[in-house]
Structures are given as C-alpha cells and as structure tokens.
Structure 1
Amino acid sequence: MKLPVAEGLFTWPPDGRPQLIASRHRGTGAVTFPADPAQDDVDEILLSRTGTLFTWTTQQFVPPSPPYTGETDPASFEAYAVGYVELPEGILVEGRLTESDPELLTIGQQMELVLVPFVERPGADGGPSREILTFAFAPVAPVAPVASQGVEA
C-alpha cells in the first residue's frame, strides 16, 4: 500500500504527474507551500510541475527526529540531495532531489516534480507493509559535461 508522507501535500493523479498543493492569498497574491487551508482569505492552487534549481546541497547525516520520520539508523541511512526549486508561481520549494552527483546538477537546471519512496513501514496487525511516498525534484535533462578550458602558455 502506498501512502503520502502527509495528506494535502500533493496530488495523486492517475497519469503519474503529481502537483504540489499550495495556497494563494486573495489580497496579496502571495503563494504559500504547503497550503494553509485554515485561512479564509486564500484559495487552494496547484503549483507548476517544473521549475529551475535555485541551489542544492547533500544531507550526509540522519536529520533530527522529530520532525524527520525517515530512516533513523545511521548504519542504513543513505545520503541524499536537497534543493530549492524556483517555480513559475514565484515561490521557492525545498525538497529532495533524485540526483546527488555534483557532476549532474547545476544551478539554473530545469527540474520536474516526481514522487519517490520515503520509508517503508510495517503493516498493522501483520497486514501489508506501507510504502510512504514524498515529493522530489528530478532533472528534466542531463547536464552537458563541461569542457575543460586549457590555458595555452
């Protein structure tokens, strides 16, 4: 069974092209992610699926728990990349990246929203396990290798 890491964070369309769920303030037009449905003066909107990589880094150690709810055993923890992706709605969204090789990521690169496994939890009372999914951003196209720029003497 597949479940979202949090309800109301992203859509689950049958075409496999998820979108993040955000809020737009009616008066100012400010966009907030995650959505803030508790306010009366906001409308729920779906964010664009693609944007540009604003910046990124790698998470080399187990994050503090809470709020982190993923793998907490340092022996089985795998480092991953996180980045800020700027979306056309004018918002920077922080999320995991599907790629963490520095040779394959570059600032300004086009990124696309995808769903990825976050953690697997055992089922209740011996039932089927639950795969928890989260959103991430994947490069739309590979980065072209940078040609070495030799200096002639």
Structure 2
Amino acid sequence: MGETHTAPALEAGRCSHCSTVAFPVTRVCSRCAGTAMSPFTVSARGTVWAYTVQRFAPKSPPYVPPPDGFSPFAVGYVELPEGIRIEAVLDCHDFDELDDGAPVTLVATVPVPRFATDAYLKETR
C-alpha cells in the first residue's frame, strides 16, 4: 500500500467585520474586537522578511540535543501574500540563501512552522 502525503498547511483567521488576518486563528479580532473570525488556509509560499542564526544550543530542558550534536539553524519571519508574518525555522544549505525577500516554501507545521529555500528543496527532493 502506498502512503498518501498531504502538503503541510497553516490556518489563519479573517475577521468578518474588518478583514484583519490573524495567525494563529483567534476567537477575537485584535483590531476591532469582533468575534466573527473565519478560519482559512494561508499560502504555502512566502518570502523571508527577516532572520537570524541560532549559533548556540538552547537551554535544556526543554531542548533535547540531537545525537550528533548541535548545528546552527536559521529562524526568522516569513511574509505571506495575505499580509501576515509568521515566525518559523528556515531550512537552507547556506545562510547566504536567506537574503530578505528570498522565496521560501512551507515544509512542516509541527512542532513549529518550518519553511525551506528553493535551493534547499531542489537538492533534498
């Protein structure tokens, strides 16, 4: 039997009163305090808005270091066409790929949103 893979997706909410988009979905709009928030799936493609590189291991617990030791990783904000910015882990081969405005694609949602550069996806798929 073949496995079926579902593309990862993130859900945001749009206020029915003022059209403000919130991520993650909230019950109350942060702009107008309206309570009619409609959930919808946001774009899986976005651009790097800003990033930094985590060059030291986070405190443990809750961080559990991998068996082969800590490796630096990028975290940043991805701007989506819906006008929201989402904090995420950013997968890449070289941190220079992450210039502001670099296109990225959603690759995972658990435990946190994770986006990857086009170059990274091309070499890993």
Q: Calculate the TM-score normalised by the size of structure 1.
A: 0.60
Moved over 3 A (4+): 62-66
Task: Choose the corresponding residue for 1:109, options 96, 99, 102.
Answer: 102
Query: Aligned-pair RMSD on alpha carbons?
Result: 2.7
> Does the 8 Å CA contact 1:58/1:100 hold for their aligned counterparts?
no
> Does the 8 Å CA contact 1:54/1:84 hold for their aligned counterparts?
yes
2:112 alignment partner AA: T
Q: How many Å apart are 1:28 and its aligned residue?
A: 1.6
Higher helix share: 2
C-alpha distance in 2 between matches for 1:141 and 1:19: 21
> Does the 8 Å CA contact 2:55/2:73 hold for their aligned counterparts?
yes
Q: How many Å apart are 1:57 and its aligned residue?
A: 0.9
Q: How many Å apart are 1:112 and its aligned residue?
A: 0.3
> Does the 8 Å CA contact 1:24/1:32 hold for their aligned counterparts?
yes
Give the stretch that moved more between structures: 97-106 or 23-32. Answer: 97-106
SS, match of residue 104 in structure 1: helix
> Does the 8 Å CA contact 2:51/2:77 hold for their aligned counterparts?
yes
Residue matched to 2:50: 55
C-alpha distance in 2 between matches for 1:44 and 1:78: 36
C-alpha distance in 1 between matches for 2:114 and 2:95: 17
Distance 1:25 1:100, change over 3 A: farther
C-alpha distance in 2 between matches for 1:29 and 1:65: 41
SS, match of residue 43 in structure 2: coil
1:34 alignment partner AA: P
Q: How many Å apart are 1:62 and its aligned residue?
A: 3.3
C-alpha distance in 1 between matches for 2:111 and 2:19: 30
1:93 alignment partner AA: I
Distance 1:78 1:88, change over 3 A: same
1:43 alignment partner AA: S
SS, match of residue 56 in structure 1: strand
Task: Choose the corresponding residue for 1:71, options 64, 70, 83.
Answer: 64
Q: Does 1:29 align with 2:48?
A: no
Structure 2, unmatched stretches of 5+, are 29-34, 121-125
C-alpha distance in 1 between matches for 2:60 and 2:41: 29
